[in-house]
Chains A and B, each alone.
Chain A
């Protein structure tokens, strides 16, 4: 069975500094990997995905994610954090067959001015 781990419940970063939100996964076959963001009292918003190809994928709002197969990781990154990036971030994985996603437990990102 597939699983997703987000090892940090919360990440704190100063505005203007780079940020990384970590995600590791366990899945059979080649995974489809996703990042979502959730602002307070809202549904999840799709940020970016990796299916195949370049290991560095770019998404919405200046976010990018790096896929590292050897470490089964898919870390979310942004070169310069904004206070408005403060939100809850979820990593998700789909194995190479099936129509369901498995989500990690979420990481709260706090960007301080």
Chain B
């Protein structure tokens, strides 16, 4: 999985609680991405980062925030989890060079009850 780890791998939480998911990479890639995967929707981009402290919104950013205080870590926070945020969350990095392919972590399965 391209030197990318995600934690936790599974989490069950209650509606209204805050949740933080962590993505860690070991290869000093500049670009990092958070996606969610839902049946029938493929992968949808939540937020991405193009450097330390540099982030931007994706297609489905409402209800999510991100932070990147160091190159290797990209955090995704659900400030107040809702059942609609039950999903599988994937982190990705962009490969080096100008070919733009992305490499994905193993995913975090989040269930909001």
Interface residues of A (CB under 8 A from B): 6, 32, 34, 36, 41-46, 49, 51, 90, 94, 99-101, 103-106
Contacts and interface: CB of A to CB of B under 8 A. Distances in A.
Interface in B18-44: 31, 33, 35, 40-44
Contacts of B92: 44
Nearest to A49: B101
A93 B92 CA distance: 15
Contact of A104 (B33, B42, B48, B104): B42
Contact of A94 (B4, B42, B44, B100): B100
Contacts, number: 50
A82 B4 CA distance: 29
Q: State which size class the interface on B falls in.
A: 20 to 34
| Main secondary structure on B side of the interface with A | strand
Contact of B99 (A44, A51, A99, A100): A51
A49 B99 contact: yes
B100 A99 contact: yes
A42 B2 CA distance: 12
23 contacts: A32-B99, A34-B101, A41-B107, A42-B107, A43-B90, A43-B105, A43-B106, A43-B107, A44-B43, A44-B90, A44-B92, A46-B102, A90-B42, A90-B43, A94-B100, A99-B48, A99-B100, A100-B45, A100-B48, A101-B45, A101-B102, A105-B41, A106-B42
A99 B31 contact: yes
A32 B100 contact: yes
B50 interface: yes
Contact of A43 (B40, B48, B101, B104): B104
Contact of B104 (A45, A51, A106): A45
A105 B107 CA distance: 17
Contacts of A101: 45, 100, 102
